[in-house]
Each structure stands twice: as structure tokens, then as C-alpha cells.
Structure 1
Amino acid sequence: NKLEEMKEDERILKDEMNVMQKYSTVLEREKLDEKNFRIKLEEELLQNSKNHEEEVQLRLKFESKLNNMHSIHRDLGTKYRRALLDIETLQNTNELLNTKKIEIIQELNGIKTQFAEQENKLAYDKEKIIALEKE
């Protein structure tokens, strides 16, 4: 009887040991799965950090280019306004020179007219002198 009880206890202990071994195997598998999951999460974190750093660098590069474009735009605006002022100045100068040219042409035409009149008078006077000398 005692032997049977001991055998029964041994059988129960063996069953419990088998259950515990299976449970241990399950726990080891879960531990391995958790370890793999942690490694995967660490890799994702590393990749996310790398992606974030690349995004920050790209954003900084974009902002730098945008700032350069704004600077170029301001410079072009300044040069454009300066060119408009230069054009206006040149147009005013051109108008003044054209007015002066017209005045000079008119004066020259007046001088030509006076010259022609003087030549005619001179020719008339020469003819008169010649006519008087013949008399």
C-alpha cells in the first residue's frame, strides 16, 4: 500500500515535472520571442532615428536653399528697381538731348538761311559793283 502510494506520488511528480518542462519550454520560447521582438524594436528605433536625422538634414538643406532663393529674389528686386531708375534717367536725358538737338537744328537752319541771304546779297553787291565799274 505504501509502495502504491509512493508509485502514485512518483507518477504525479513525473506528470508535474513533464508539465513543468513543457511550461519551461513555452517560457523559453516566449523569452526568445520577446528577445527577438526587442531586437526588432531596437532596429526599428535605430532606423527611425536614422530617418529622423536624414529628415532633419533634408529640412535644413531645404531651408538653406529657400533662404538663398529669398536672398536672390531680394537682390533681383533691388537690381530691377535700380534698372528702372536708370532707364528713367536715360529716358529723361534722351528727351533733353532730343530737345537740344531740335534747338541746334533750328539754330543751324536759321544760320543757313542767313548765310544764303548773305550770299545772295554778296552776289547782288558784286553784280552792282561790276555794273558800276562798267559805267
Structure 2
Amino acid sequence: MELTTIISALQNAFERNDVKVAVLDDYWYKLNIETGIHSTGFCFAASEVIYRLNGKDNWKVVSLKDPDHWNNGTHYFLENRHSKEILDITRNQYEERSIDIPYSLGKGRGLRKTSNKAKTLALMAGLGELPR
């Protein structure tokens, strides 16, 4: 599936409260509502949807986990396997709060099973079933 189609559908889905309720954990849902930044909390599910629909050969899922020095938690994004370009469609959840994302600290992460959150997000965004 075309990358621009996937990104557009996901960004539209981020704005819907029914999608937020279905996909986000309580902490991320509350932060999403409090900040008014619609992409907040969707980093893993969105990265997985793109990874599975746009091609595992194109992307690898990367996680940034540094609870002591950066945002007290984990962030997920994609790195192009060929160009090393970063694709982070939820970066604005940090940029709009003036938080720099230290992408260089990210580590590649394998995905064995399709997560329920990604399945739900893809379906609710109108992107259909996710391939394994």
C-alpha cells in the first residue's frame, strides 16, 4: 500500500475519539486529551501499521527507551532500511511540547506477532486487515 495513503488515513484516525478510546492506554489517552495533540500515544501502533502495510523490506521499527533521560519512557518510529531516513508520524507529540527526540539512541526492534492495537488502528483508519 502507498505510504502517503497510509499516513493520511492514520493522521485522520488520530483525531477521532473512538479510535483514541479503542487504541490508547489510559495514560496516553489522558495525555492526548490534555495536550490536544492528536498523535500522542499512537507511536507504536502507527509504526507497526506502516511497517506491515508498506513493506517489511522497506522499514524497520526502532524504539527509543531511555526512562532516565528522555521523556520518562519509550518512543517508536521507523527507519528506512535502504536510505536510513527516519519516518516518525507522531513526532509532533514531542515537538509541540519542545522536546527533542534523540533518534540516534534508537535500537531496532523485531515484531513477531501483530499487536491488537495495530490491528484495531488499521481497521478503524479504513486500511483493512494487517498482513502478518
Q: TM-score scaled to structure 2, two decimals?
A: 0.14
**Structure with larger RCO (C-alpha < 8 A, sep 6+):** 2
Q: TM-score scaled to structure 1, two decimals?
A: 0.14
Which structure features the higher share of helix residues? 1
- Higher-Rg member (1/2): 1
Which structure features the higher share of strand residues? 2
